[in-house]
Amino acid sequence: MSLLLEIKNLRTAFDTTQGRINAVDGVSLKVNAGETMGIVGESGCGKTMLALSIMRLVPANGKIISGEIFFSGKDLLKLSEEEMRAVRGSEISMVFQEPMTSLNPVFRVGEQIAEAIRLHQHLPAKQAMELSIKQLREVGIPDPQKRAMDYPHNFSGGMRQRVMIAMAMSCHPRLMLADEPTTALDVTIQAQILDLISELKLKNKMAVILITHDLGVVAQTAQKLAVMYAGKIVESSAVEKIFENPLHPYTQGLLESVPARCLKSMGRGEYLKTIPGSVPGLYDFVQGCRFHDRCSYVFEECVGKEPPFLEVEPGHFVSCWKYNAG
């Protein structure tokens, strides 16, 4: 597989009245063409901000302060805003977490998809609308010609998410960022949305970065996995490697908290396992390893010095003094 996206030491920060906070702090990732990379972690770990940084859609009070984002060999951070607009939506698209807030409530869904098509493909309105209807059909919306004339509030949560995917796919991007695409959907609809993304990925030979807190979703759809904690990637490898042999204590805790895995080894009357404590707040500076105050393996180096991100075994990277000591 050829390398499509490479992120090097990316830092995205926000200047606030209480000082500068790093939402993404030194993240490096590689995504190959045609593969799915899962990014997991608890809420507040910086997953969404990483995706927004790739799209260069960081909120006004934030900025990318250092690093490089190479897409097909070109550094996105060196592009002008006009050049980036040509990439955004055309070559890289994003499915946002909550479709109801991402869709404009006063425009028909067909018009919203057609607008993206007109912008990037420079087509007349009629042809753009025809392609918009075609995209709705592609994502499994029944009677797409009629539904294209409906407003977002006329759609269920699952159907709105299909509209968002149709919009993201309208210009056949090479990379899709899917930010919690199954949040707030029931289990049956979740499975349908994941199957749809996988089907479109294969059909269009597209890469996907799937942001989620659900390890079951990753196991079902991704080939590679990056575990994020407090703005940093703490472990990265093939999905099978991490599920079979998680190295970072945080990854181990996440996997031990999955009910389906726990129930197989639990005795009667035992409680599901949890990770003690919570993710540090953005204003809480943690010296050393950021997970040390929740970790059962903590020792002296963990408290005073941040561990490097090293390849512990072929293709398996981890940031933990348990493996990097000395």
User: Would you say residue 146 has pLDDT above 60?
Assistant: yes
Predicted confidence (pLDDT) per residue in 279-303, tens digit: 887 667 678 899 999 998 888 889 9
Cα–Cα dist 221/210, whole Å:
9
What's the whole-number mean pLDDT along residues 90-113? 90
- Integer CA distances (angstroms), 205 to 113, 117, 281, in order: 21, 20, 38
CATH topology of domain 3-91+173-324: Rossmann fold (3.40.50)
Q: Where is pLDDT greater, at 214 or 138?
A: 138
Q: Where is pLDDT greater, at 248 or 267?
A: 248
Predicted confidence at residue 261, as pLDDT, reads 54
Predicted confidence at residue 263, as pLDDT, reads 46
User: Would you say residue 264 has pLDDT above 60?
Assistant: no
Predicted confidence at residue 274, as pLDDT, reads 82
Q: Indicate the average pLDDT of the chain.
A: 90
The one-letter code for the residue type at 159 is M
The one-letter code for the residue type at 294 is R
Cα–Cα dist 57/223, whole Å:
26
Q: pTM for this structure?
A: 0.92
Residue reference for tokens 């979703």? 217
What tokens were used for 162?
Answer: 């299909």
Predicted confidence at residue 265, as pLDDT, reads 55
- Integer CA distances (angstroms), 182 to 39, 68, 133, in order: 14, 30, 23
Predicted confidence (pLDDT) per residue in 49-99, tens digit: 999 999 999 998 899 999 999 999 999 999 999 999 999 989 999 998 877
Enumerate the domain spans of the chain.
Answer: 3-91+173-324, 105-169
Percent of the residues in the chain that have a pLDDT greater than 70, as a whole number: 94
Predicted confidence at residue 268, as pLDDT, reads 63
User: Would you say residue 148 has pLDDT above 70?
Assistant: yes
Predicted confidence (pLDDT) per residue in 19-29, tens digit: 888 899 999 99
Residue reference for tokens 């075609």? 134
What tokens were used for 49?
Answer: 């901000």
Predicted confidence (pLDDT) per residue in 123-138, tens digit: 999 999 999 999 999 9
What's the whole-number mean pLDDT along residues 308-313? 92
Q: What is the DSSP string of 96-153?
A: -S-HHHHS-TTS-HHHHHHHHHHHHH---HHHHHHHHHHHHHHTT-SSHHHHTTS-GG
Q: Where is pLDDT greater, at 324 or 111?
A: 111
User: Would you say residue 100 has pLDDT above 90?
Assistant: no
What's the whole-number mean pLDDT along residues 228-237? 95
